[in-house]
Amino acid sequence: MTAQEAQWLNRIIESEDLHVLFQPIVDASQQSIYGYEALIRGPKTSPLHSPLRLFDVAMQAGLLVELDLLCRRLAIHRFAELELPGLLFLNVMPLTIVKRDFKEGLTLGLIRESGLPPERVVIELTEHVPIHNYELMRQAVDHYRDMGFKVALDDLGAGHSSLRHWSELRPDFVKLDRHFISGIDQEPAKREFLRSILDVARSLDCQLIAEGVETAAEHLCLWELDRGLALLQGFYFARPSPQPPLEMQMRLPATTQLTSPAGRTARSIFRHVEAVSPDCSVPMLSERFSTNPGLRCVAVVDNDKPLAVVRRNAFLTLFTNPYSHSLYSKRRVLDVADARPLIASADTPLEVLSQQLTDSHDIEQEDFVIVDSDGRYLGLGSIVDLLREITAIQVRQARHANPLTGLPGNILINETLTNYLAAEQGFAAAYVDLDNFKAFNDAYGYARGDHIIISLSRLLQAQVESAGGFIGHIGGDDFMMLLPLSHWEHVCQQILDSFEVMAPGFYEESDRVKGGIAIENRQGDASFFPFVSVSIAVKPVVDTSSCKALDIASQLSDLKHQAKKIPGNSLFVERRGCCTQKVELL
């Protein structure tokens, strides 16, 4: 700590010259902003602008508690002033908790002044010094919870004893240090580590937050890794800002409501089971269960809208003593029904329905209610039927998937293209191909070439599924995209821009300096090949009635050859109808 830094610190605390920024934490499962982490910056013109240096100097000067309390007060007031939705994640030093806040109730007082309920505030324990007295910290954490606050542990894996903190304090949230997220799409060891951490989080009933998500490939990898990892934070979604967004700025693959390649939805597994009215008597339903041993569940429906369900096993346990019949003889079915059944729309994809059932820990899941788009009762679904259908879908997808990328192969591409045409909604079909890829393979070998293909597939999948489209792997370095008409131009441009940044990283330093590789042919003549690039040929399909899947595939193949004539990353677009050949370069 220099004398100048000490002067700046005193001036900052006295004048409260700090800037509060907020970074969203998104909930991929709900397609919404879950909350905001409050972040502090010093004056831009000072040597203490960086929060790391600011707090290091405060610790050296013995003013860490004073600075922490000031930051907390400014963050709470600014959060309330901006009327931000969701939860406020408030960074708090453990040292401050045990020295003052636990005894004086300072945070609760600040919350009350701002008008925020404690239930909307998460106390995020941030390490700058180690915790020595765990007993006192447990008492403080319990005290916060009693007041309504939630508790989070920051930077798991980066602090002094963060695993012990987790075990001792049992936080509601744990934020995983960005080291384990950075490049996770390319590092299998990090993926295995995160799988283990997810298992621990579930066993402790704790929600994991992935910090430092900066690329589409990282986000896609987290989504593929485990659908339970829904809370995400990082530059990929939004940077810290004094005026953060109030809602999601993009669609996330985790909630894209896509029909599976097999086209299976909840409608395919529902069976009609005659419902009962709310006024149906208990004895009448008892008779029905007695005469129909295979009946497991009955829905209680009023004006076509499901209200509850009666499950056979739970219902029959009501009659286990001699007085049961007289006790329930005049009761209505609604009085003994389960009023919290899971209700699914018939158009819900089976994969999404499976996730809803998995997340419903407090619901008996053997049978569930299926309704139409207007919420009217159709019938019941069975967990057994759901598992059977999903297993069949997965087996078929695996059989027809590309073995390198796991993306749908040619059979599923053709089926999906046919389904898009049958939907009569219009879409854009795009062919993606790599340029100078063979030269790269010859120079670096097929293993390095496969790495490029996998990296490209991750990029394509992240961009395409975020827009609600479909991505398939034709083979080799060729891919097919089906995109909404309103999104295809943005998606293609994002792919081109991103791959241009990625491409040099595939090469050794000596070749990066030269901008490519020189390869000799059999005659000993050397040819120079620039970095690999992407060519995209796009065919917007507005009138689907006159098109066939095979015609589109054939025309895209021709357009691809035109695109590949253009050096570098290129986009080649056919601007006319289904069967014309006029093209336009963007």
Distance CA 474, CA 401 (A): 10
Distance CA 521, CA 361 (A): 63
Q: Stretch 242-257: mean pLDDT, rounded?
A: 67
Most confident of 25-29, 197-201, 501-505, 578-582: 501-505
pLDDT, residue 580, reads 36
Most confident of 184-198, 363-377, 425-439, 518-532: 425-439
Rounded to 5°, angle at Cα 578 from 573 and 580: 70
Structure tokens at 383: 């967990």
Q: Can you give the residue ranges of every domain in the chain? A: 19-248, 266-389, 401-585
Q: Is the pLDDT of residue 364 over 70?
A: no
Q: Is the pLDDT of residue 435 over 90?
A: yes
Average pLDDT value over all residues in the chain: 83
**Comparing 266-389 with 401-585, is the CATH topology the same?**
no
Quick one: pLDDT band at residue 259, thresholds 50, 70, 90?
very low
Q: Is the pLDDT of residue 275 over 70?
A: yes
Residues 88/150, Cβ–Cβ less than 8 Å:
no
Residues 471/488, Cβ–Cβ less than 8 Å:
no
Q: 294-338, pLDDT tens digit by residue?
A: 899 999 999 999 999 999 988 888 877 776 667 777 889 998 898
Q: Is the pLDDT of residue 535 over 70?
A: yes
Distance CA 96, CA 106 (A): 10
Closest by CA position to 15, among listed 56, 39, 48, 38: 48
CATH superfamily of 266-389: CBS-domain (3.10.580.10)
Q: Using the 8-state DSSP alphabet, how is residue 431 labeled? A: E
How many angstroms separate the Cα of 321 from the Cα of each of 51, 251, 288, 328, 550?
Answer: 68, 55, 20, 12, 68
Structure tokens at 390: 């999903």
Share of the chain above pLDDT 70, in %: 87
Distance CA 55, CA 12 (A): 12
Least reliable range by pLDDT among 250-254, 484-488, 508-512: 250-254
Q: Is the pLDDT of residue 380 over 90?
A: yes
Q: What is the domain class of 401-585 according to CATH?
A: alpha beta
Least reliable range by pLDDT among 61-65, 84-88, 430-434, 535-539: 61-65
Q: 98-119, pLDDT tens digit by residue?
A: 666 655 667 788 888 888 888 8
Share of the chain above pLDDT 90, in %: 29
pLDDT, residue 456, reads 92
Q: Stretch 550-576: mean pLDDT, rounded?
A: 85
Question: Between 537 and 422, whose confidence is greater?
Answer: 537
pLDDT, residue 107, reads 79
Q: Is the pLDDT of residue 396 over 70?
A: no
| Topology at the third CATH level for domain 19-248 | TIM Barrel (3.20.20)
